[in-house]
Amino acid sequence: MDWIVSISVLFLSTLMIMLLFKMGNPWKKSSKDFPPGPRPLPVVGNLHIMDLKKPYQTMLELSKQYGPVFKLLLGLQKIVVLTGYETIKEALVNKADVFAERASVPIFEEFSKGFGVAFSHGENWRVMRRFMLSTLRDYGMGKRSMESRIAEECSFLVKKFESYKGKPFEFRRIMTAAVANIIVSILLGKRYDYEDPRFIKLLSLTTENAMLIGSPGVQLYNMFPMLGFLFGARKKVLKNRKELRAFLNENFIQCLNNLDENDTRNFIDSYLVQQQQERKTQSNGYFHHKNLEESVTNLFIAGVETISSTLFWAFTLMMRYPLIQKKVQEEITNVIGYAQPRAEHRTKMPYTDAVVHEVQRYADVIPLNLPHATTVDVNFKGYFIAKGTNVIPLLTSVLHDESQWEKPYDFYPEHFLNIEGKFVKRNAFMPFSAGQRVCPGEILAKTEIFMYFTSLLQRFTLQPAPGLSKEDLDMTRAVGFTTPPKTYMLCAITRF
């Protein structure tokens, strides 16, 4: 049977190559004013020059040669890349409506089917985003009630760190669980113990998918979707996704069985109530099960991966720069003392606020951004971009823009401080993207990062495990859709 499979693969591959050669270069059908870019090869396009482990790095290098707006052909994907603060601001903020669509990417389309918020399109996206924002506010986003929920979780986390009594431990699983409990409290109205095996499994599925979606195998699938059966990474992503949804569906049923329209307890309850109200007025609306399933999945993954990856960087950087850690702790002691850190303390703690912002800038946990698409034909920066073109507003190019940051590739909290030591906002600070597709949970994420960071540094001094010096801490980014640092054991030494 093996020879039959081999012949079948060879036949299909040959057929695809003949088809692609016949198609030629798809850019030739576009306006002569299309952006510049590297010359593509038949079939593979510009794949031969891409570092698939760090495609954002290749794009940064290409921008030096072709400018802030350039084109790429990756297999069957036609892409325009935007780089630099001024260019991306012009696109996402000043021409927000033009660049508001989500690009159609095979792996995202396959598991989302255009539902939810993150990867949906048109009116479905608008309706689901409005509902998501209003419901997040209803359940405390930006309010004292949410701060209290985060403060309670911080207490659980501090006790867990204390339990190791200064001995080395791997903190990522615990940190991820603490972060996940905040979004779980909004979605399901509950929290899980850090050692709950089902919860641990759920988080491992989420983390693995974040890594796989940015892996070379999935990128190749996005370029050549008709050969999807060859890519094991794609199959694993879909398998993990299925397990994640099975877990969430169990909770949908529990919420539905206990639903009280006059006493909604969580995001799912609110959605189910909206669904029932919609059914009374129209038969084919937006509040169906597929949108619920995908919206919850979007919130869970976004509420876990980006925040936890940022905190991994925060604590790794504090171990790498102990003098900065000490200065943060001194400010915490002077401003907060032994009280529970709250979001309101931020305005009184300029140095800590600057460090937190610099962590987010330096961490750059989603360097590629989520891909956008144009809603209409547009002339942008002197170039023609056709309606429906995939556009990558390269976030890493904003967070490391040499025209905006004094030391773009260094960890330098002074980026956010003036000469008087007061906190200053920077326009090029865009870790959550910008415009109409900006992360809907930005306020919640900022609150979580600040409160977890200050709560742990208030109680502990973080050090590398014995045998590791601060110089041994490698700042290399992991391969994946999100880019956390390498994993290290740490020691949490109690301060009081």
Q: What is the 3-class SS of the chain, one letter each residue?
A: CHHHHHHHHHHHHHHHHHHHHHHCCHHHHCCCCCCCCCCCECCCECHHHCCCCCHHHHHHHHHHHHCCEEEEEECCEEEEEECCHHHHHHHHHHCCCCCCEECCCHHHHHHHCCCCCCCCCHHHHHHHHHHHHHHHHHCCCCCHHHHHHHHHHHHHHHHHHHCCCCCCEECHHHHHHHHHHHHHHHHCCCCCCCCCHHHHHHHHHHHHHHHHHCCHHHHHHHHCHHHHHHCHHHHHHHHHHHHHHHHHHHHHHHHHHCCCCCCCCCHHHHHHHHHHHHHHHCCCCCCCHHHHHHHHHHHHHHHHHHHHHHHHHHHHHHHHCHHHHHHHHHHHHHHCCCCCCCHHHHHHCHHHHHHHHHHHHHHCCCCCCCCEECCCCEEECCEEECCCCEEEECHHHHHCCCCCCCCCCCCCHHHHECCCCCECCCCCCCCCCCHHHCCCCHHHHHHHHHHHHHHHHHHEEEEECCCCCHHHCCCCECCCCCCCECCCEEEEEECC
Q: Is 255 annotated as a binding residue?
A: no
List binding-site positions.
439
List binding-site positions for heme.
439
